[in-house]
Structure 1
Amino acid sequence: MYKTKTLREKIRLFMIILIPILITQVSMYAMNFFDTIMSGRAGAADLAGVAIGSSLWVPVQMAVVGILMAMSPIVAQLTGANEEEKIPFTVQQGIYVSIGLGVVVTLIGTFLIDPILGLMDLEDRVQHVAKYYIITIGLGMIPHFIYNLLRSYIDGLGHTRISMAIILISLPLNIVFNYIFIFGKLGLPAFGGIGAGIASGLTFLVNLILSILIVHYVRPFRGHKIFHKFVKPSLKEWFSQLRLGLPIGFSIFFEVSIFSAVTFMLSVYSTNTIAAHQAAINFASFLYMIPLSIAMSLTIAVGFEIGAKRIQDAKTYSYMGIISGVIIAFLAGGIIYLLDDQVAHLYSDHQEVIELTKHFLYYAIFFQFADAVGAPVQGILRGYKDVNITFWMSLVSYWLIGLPSGWLFANYTNLDAFGYWLGLIVGLSAGAITLFGRMYYLQNKLAKQM
């Protein structure tokens, strides 16, 4: 990161940060994308099982990754304030936090997997795949969390191309692992959807090894000497990071978990409906990586400018990011509308699943516009370290407005399963509007103070 003076310089720096993050996020989600597609080729039950397993795993891992994302604005603001000497201590404490969170999630998951799956009316094969998909992917959970902490540190310094390089190395390996474990190659049995969990767990380990090597040996990271000598754990620093990270993590959890809640509610429908829902939500989430990447870039840029007390520059980056998100939403909506049939065929060759997937995709078009504003604004607010209010806004918008609306549409109109998707649109739109209002208020408040 560096100081910019003109709008042109800001756009150039923003794109330098954004493009590697975008490639990284798309590639990371491509792992789940290929898990879903390749599991679907193993059978509808495997696809549905991975759908249920993902709906449990993804919200939890996204929540923890969200907590660890606090490292990006912390590092960005320390860099902007010329206090880089504090970074090694901060990152080491963050590694301790990531390990601790991994242990806590593992213990909780051990006791809750069976009871949660038992509450759902699933076919035996679907439940079996879902359970062991979660268990196998969970074996790579702690490496995944440590990697994301290191990635947030790397990105916070503005070196987003490093994260891109790591994921571009590991993604092809993930596809190979999927092929081996899902379909049973190299003398191994065909694990079906469970094999996708094994493949992802191994890929998480590869990501961690690559990130440690880079941080330890490559400039400018090796100058911080993160892995040379570890300091003792500091509860004060843990709480400081968690105060910022927990609201971020839970805000992401509320947004992501509402999709999982919809998947649970759809469990009363047929396996084909569940499979079609998962296929459509998987593709829509794939496109969501674009506004999410914009949000992560904004956190770094805004955090750097706020650390340097350049309030107007932070505001310029903010609106630059929102406008970018809206433009992308039009493009993403057009892709879904024009290529719905091709997208549906990616996930299944079963005609009923294809038709249901196409119907779900039409609703996904409207997701894009809510996310175009909501996701970038969340990234902006993280850059300001304003996270507590957004936590409550996310809770109300997604769970007290979106989900109940979906239930009403599904049960009291003829929309059936599609009613839940209409409720998602309502919740995401409510979140985008309230978050934008918070950003506008905060920026005006800071401008008056300065």
Structure 2
Amino acid sequence: MSLLHESKLTLRLALPLIIGQVSQMLLGVADSVMVGKLGVTELASLTFVNSIFWIPFVFGIGVLTCVSVLTSNARGAGDAQQARGSCRNGLYISLGTAACFLLIGLVSLPFLDRLGQPAAVVALSRPYLLVLMCSIVPGLASIALKNHADALDRPWPPFWIFLAGVAFNVWLNWVLIYGKWGAPEMGMMGAAWATLVSRILMFLAILFWLEKDRELQDWVPFTWFRKPTRGELLAHARIGVPASFQMLCEVAAFSAAGLMMGRFGEVSMAAHQIAMTCAGTAFMVPLGLSMALTVRTGAVTGSGETARLRGVVYSGWLLAGGFGALNALFFLVGGVFWARQFTTDLAVIQATAGLLSIVGVFQMFDSLQVASSSMLRGLHDTRVPALMGFVAYWLVGLPVAAWLSWHGPMAARGVWWGLATGLFIACVTLAPRLLHRLRKQELAIAVDAGL
């Protein structure tokens, strides 16, 4: 098939995923804007908590990519039983992973003051992190079910459920943070409780829809609670664990960058939080595209149409490059404008604009690397990409960030130039790996055909 046709198929699946991812990230924007109006210390506390929380949450999201891959394989092969097992085991894995991280979070609360942050920031962070860690249980469970539905080419109902959840969360933020409609004025803790309540409701809503949708009755578990086999769990783990490690390497690097910002004061931390929110929101576009590319490569592989893979890959790169260029334009041209949407503090605005110019520089690298890694995941290739991610972010990116920020005049900007370096290395290593896997697949087809 032509690149245009493959691009249309990918975009049809990607559109609700992109909008859904952006809406989820806009919730973080709403948190930052609403909490930021309470003061610089509150915004710095939010930055600190997010730097900690997103490490286990993204690890869980990475593990649950196994549901997207295995369900899409099953759909391509027309195997409803395998798809049901993928969904059920994915839910088990999500609950088990979330419970472990919740326990770790509870144990770590007394040690937050050892991470080098200001005392006022730590004092506000402890109760906020406690409630936010509780939300990881329904949060990951919802993602497991959503991944299953997306892989079955039914992305729109979960999209509407998640969008409604985001809207409700923003409204509940307003009520609880500022004490509206007779509710107590809870300050930044209101945002934490709003997140927990919203994630519980989203999980219940998507579970109810899956149970009641007649078109999916053969593809949804008949029995949700059944002892999994060792082989089923291993199949999920072989894909999910390396994929989560790869994602964790990138997110943990950005979280470590947030901790580095503590050396440069509250203004730099606040600017970093705003830049992270803007960069993260923009990243949701290539991330949503990458989720569609994982499903498409998985479905094509499962159906045995391996000859179409090159078209899927090239069209994926084309779309990722286009989205990356648009994102770059937004940040390079409008850095000051975006900064002003979050704060009126002139020092924070100036610092944020400088960081957003760096964000604009690495948009193309970021879009292409996440597209490549997602398509490799759809081909069940996760171990080598995970190692590449570790090298790019932790052996190159963070050391460069530390050197530029601590041993030169760049300060906070040096941290972000280091992150940009890591993304560039990831981009130029993952793309050749994907081409290698394509050639390997095509060679296997030629051998089977006796060519």
Q: TM tier, shorter chain? A: over 0.9
C-alpha distance in structure 2 between counterparts of 1:111 and 1:230, whole Å: 29
The alignment status of 1:216 with 2:197, answered yes or no, reads no
Amino acid at match of 2:245: F
- 1:13-412 equivalences in 2 (<5 Å): 13-115=9-111, 117-226=112-221, 228=223, 230-412=225-407
Count of aligned pairs between the two proteins: 445
Tell me the amino acid that sits aligned with residue 229 of structure 2. S
Q: Which runs of 5+ in 1 are unaligned?
A: none
Other structure's SS at 1:213 match: helix
Shift of 1:332: 1.0
1:253-305 per-residue CA deviation (whole Å, 9 max, x = no partner) reads: 11111111011111122111100111011101110011111111100111111
Question: What SS does structure 1 have at the residue aligned with 2:181?
Answer: coil
Structure 1 residue 162: deviation in Å? 2.0
- C-alpha distance in 2 between matches for 1:190 and 1:272: 26
Distance 1:346 1:227 in 2: 48
TM-score (norm 2): 0.95
Alignment RMSD: 1.4
SS class of match (2:217): helix
What amino acid is aligned across from residue 59 of structure 1 in structure 2?
A: I
Q: Return closer, same or farther for 1:141/1:263 CA change in 2, 3 Å cut-off.
A: same
Which amino acid in 2 is paired with 1:399?
A: W
| Shift of residue 91, structure 1, vs aligned partner | 1.5
TM-score (norm 1): 0.96
Q: Name which of structure 1's ranges 179-188 and 246-255 shifts more when overlaid on structure 2.
A: 179-188
Assess if the C-alpha contact under 8 Å between 2:290 and 2:374 holds in 1. Answer: yes
* CA displacement, residues 88-134 of structure 1 (integer Å, 9 cap, x when unaligned): 2232122111111111111111112332x222333333112222221
1:235 Cα deviation from its structure 2 partner: 3.3
Alpha-carbon distance in 2 for matches of 1:46, 1:227: 47
2-side partners of 1:444 and 1:342: how far apart?
46
Query: What is the CA deviation profile of residues 44-88 of structure 1, one whole-angstrom value per residue up to 9, with x for unaligned ones?
Result: 111110111011111210110110121011011111112122222
Give the 3 Å change call, closer, same or farther, for CA 137–272 of structure 1 in structure 2: same
Distance in 1, matches of 2:88 and 2:25, equals: 27
Which deviations, in whole Å up to 9, do the C-alpha atoms of 1:392-417 show, x marking residues without a partner?
Answer: 01011000100001111112221111
Q: Is the 8 A contact 2:264 2:411 kept in 1?
A: no
C-alpha contact 1:336 1:365 (8 A) present in aligned 2: yes
> CA offsets, 1:212-262, max 9 Å, x none?
111000132233342545322333322221121001111111111111101
Q: Is the 8 A contact 1:251 1:391 kept in 2?
A: yes
Specify the code of the residue in structure 2 equivalent to 1:298: L
**In structure 2, how many angstroms separate the alpha carbons of the residues matched to 1:218 and 1:202?**
25
Q: Which residue number in structure 2 is paired with residue 430 of structure 1?
A: 425
Q: Distance in 1 between matches of 2:196 and 2:136?
A: 7
Q: 1 CA distance for matches of 2:2 and 2:132?
A: 46
**Aligned residue number for residue 449 of structure 2:** none
